Amino acid sequence: MLIEGRNQVVEAIKNGKTINQLYVDLNYAHRKDEVISLAKQFKIKVEFMPKKALDGISKTAHHQGYIAETVDFEYCEVSDILAKAKAKNEDAFVVLLDGIEDPHNLGAIIRSCECAGVHGIILPKMRSCQVNETVVRTSAGAISNMLIARVTNLKDAMEELKENGLWIYGAEVGGDDIYSTNLTGPIGIVIGSEGKGTRESVKSHCDKIISLPLFGSVNSLNASVSAGIVVYEVVRQRLKRK
């Protein structure tokens, strides 16, 4: 997998991602550069290439002169996410994605979740975008700090979270008002797909369905926008509780 863009490469190096090779614009070879310095510090092989050559291997067309060749993204287990929350002595905060297929949406959700202090994201192996170059790029480096579990059955993952004391809330039209719902304590938030929303079989496993108020003619928000608003309502309530 390729990691492209200055910030994305810097975050990957700082977070100890395994990088086999770093390709850098030839024009940067003789100037002071944070990315090159970090690569040397972590003993990463650097190859300088003309910009045209970088354009040829880029998957996103937004490499900014830096492309890191790394191993495929390493997914974690649901237990790793719960362990992270426990290690930080915090109520677990997990986001589950039911069928997010657009890599730009997935990257944006990862970025919002990382900023909001979410301990991990769970997504299914089927009917879901997986982590690729576009997701990494869109996350603006946030993915290097985010645990992501890929599971065979999302409902089984929900049950595992419940067994560990989490309440599961589905963010979907037709539920209880989010701003009147207590979202403190250990929590899992389910975000549905861009077009069809959350599957009925997944909704039936939620403890409660919560909704954002809508006042316009359109009856839904973009999945990544919804996720950002919902996770930050959890943050707001947690801060208010302190």
SS3 of residue 48 by DSSP = strand
Please give the mean pLDDT across all residues of the chain.
91
User: Considering just the CA atoms, what is the radius of gyration of the chain in Å?
Assistant: 19
Q: Give this prediction's pTM.
A: 0.78
Any residues with CB less than 8 A from the CB of 175 and at least 6 apart, and which? 208, 209, 210, 211
Tokens of residue 65, six digits: 């002169």
Tokens of residue 88, six digits: 């930080």
Residue 61: is it exposed, middle or buried by C-beta count within 10 angstroms (0-12/13-18/19+)? exposed
Any idea where the domains of the chain sit in the sequence? 2-70, 78-241
Q: Note whether 2-70 and 78-241 share their fold.
A: no
* DSSP bridge partners of 176: 210
Question: Which pLDDT belongs to residue 130?
Answer: 84
Question: Which pLDDT belongs to residue 158?
Answer: 96
- Per-residue pLDDT tens digits for 17-57: 778 889 999 988 888 888 888 888 888 889 999 999 999 99
* Residues comprising the chain, all counted: 242
The pLDDT > 90 percentage for the chain reads 56
| DSSP structure class, residue 187 | E
Q: Is residue 217 scored above 80 in pLDDT?
A: no
- Per-residue pLDDT tens digits for 82-114: 999 999 999 999 999 998 989 999 999 999 999
Specify the amino acid at residue 158: M
Q: What is the CATH number of domain 2-70?
A: 3.30.1330.30
Measured between alpha carbons, how far is 222 from 194 in angstroms, rounded to an integer? 7
Hey, which bits of the chain come out as E strands? 2-4, 19-25, 46-49, 66-70, 93-98, 120-124, 147-151, 167-177, 187-192, 208-211
Which residue has better confidence, 215 or 188? 188
Any residues with CB less than 8 A from the CB of 147 and at least 6 apart, and which? 76, 80, 81, 84, 119, 120, 121
Measured between alpha carbons, how far is 67 from 81 in angstroms, rounded to an integer? 29
Strand 46-49's sheet: what is its strand order? 2-4, 66-70, 19-25, 46-49
Average pLDDT for 164-173: 94
Question: Which pLDDT belongs to residue 162?
Answer: 97
- Per-residue pLDDT tens digits for 110-156: 999 999 999 999 999 888 888 888 898 888 888 888 999 999 999 99
Q: What is the CATH number of domain 78-241?
A: 3.40.1280.10
Give residue 11's pLDDT band: very low, low, confident or very high (50, 70, 90): confident
